Amino acid sequence: MKDIKAFLDHKYKTYNQPNFVEDDPIGIPHQYTKKQDVEITAFWTAMLAWGQRKTIINKSNALFKLMDNAPHDFILNHKEKDRKPFLEFKHRTFQATDTIYFLAFLQHFYKKNESLEFAFSQFLSTKDVHVGPALIGFHDLFFSLPYAPDRTRKHIATPARKSSCKRLNMFLRWMVRKDKQGVDFGIWKKIKPRQLLIPLDVHVDRVARKLQLIERKQTDWRTVLELTEKLREFDPKDPVKYDYALFGTGVMEKDKL
């Protein structure tokens, strides 16, 4: 295991670099400085993050352009008639119905709360080992409005459905982790890096299995817990930093591993 830790530490340093931002969806929220703008763009970009990264970036930029690149101001102050241009926005299975409900929920939430962090942290205790309760609580809160469409539920994962919750875990990594490299934002303080869970996509899953960090056959919520627990052995305070090592190796070195 020492060899694996040394390998992962090396790859973490290799890929946790500012130039990572240029070709990754995390570059979208890096275009903003206001905390709420960062949160909103990070959340929505993460929820759209499936498929080619270039397409995700282009679609996200197009979405926030509809908000005049001032998402928090738009979310707070827009009227129902201002939602009409969003009826044309779609990304794969993310359709107009989903877009309109996202706008509605975010407006409802931000009119009562300063930060999206509370939508997660209110369901989490410092004693909780991981963010599972926050993900379940957020899902239920997100769909608590009486007109929440059933079809939109597929875009917000929950451990209650045994989902790996890859996109939500990635979003939380962006918001919670902080280091000198500045790729992740670290603007949320109520959730601790030690509580984060690995965003388990196909690249991370493949590399982790080659390194024998996963025994479970399926790729689901329990697999996320298994892999994160292994990574905690290497760094109990910041296990998800190894997302850079696993993802970076999987994407950039797939022919070498």
Range 194-216 average pLDDT: 96
pLDDT tens across 117-167, in order?
999 999 999 999 999 999 999 999 999 999 999 999 999 999 999 999 999
What tens digit of pLDDT does each residue of 111-128 get? 999 999 999 999 999 999
Please compute the mean of the pLDDT values over residues 213-221 and round it to a whole number.
Answer: 96
Tell me: pLDDT of 255 over 70. Answer: no
Query: What is residue 210's predicted lDDT score, i.e. its pLDDT?
Result: 95
- The string of pLDDT tens digits covering residues 44-90 is 999 999 888 899 999 999 999 999 999 999 999 999 999 999 999 99
Question: pLDDT class for 23, splitting at 50, 70, 90?
Answer: confident
Task: Indicate the Cα dihedral angle 25, 26, 32, 36, nearest 10°.
Answer: 110
pLDDT at 257: 59
CA distance 138 to 116: 10
Q: Is the pLDDT of residue 29 over 80?
A: yes
- pTM confidence score: 0.96
Band of residue 256 on the pLDDT scale cut at 50, 70, 90: low
> Which helix (H) or strand (E) element contains residue 10?
helix 2-15
Question: In percent, how much of the chain has pLDDT > 70?
Answer: 98
Q: Kindly give, in sequence order, each residue whose CB lies less than 8 Å from that of residue 106, ignoring residues fewer than 6 positions away.
A: 40, 75
With cut-offs at 50, 70 and 90, classify the pLDDT of residue 2.
Answer: confident
Listed in sequence order, the residues at least 6 apart from 212 whose beta carbon sits closer than 8 Å to its beta carbon are: none
pLDDT, average across residues 238-242: 98
DSSP string, 178-238: --TT-SS-----SS-GGG------HHHHHHHHHTT----SS-SHHHHHHHHHHHHHH-TT-
Q: What are the φ and ψ backbone dihedral angles of 91, each rounded to 5 degrees?
A: -145, 110
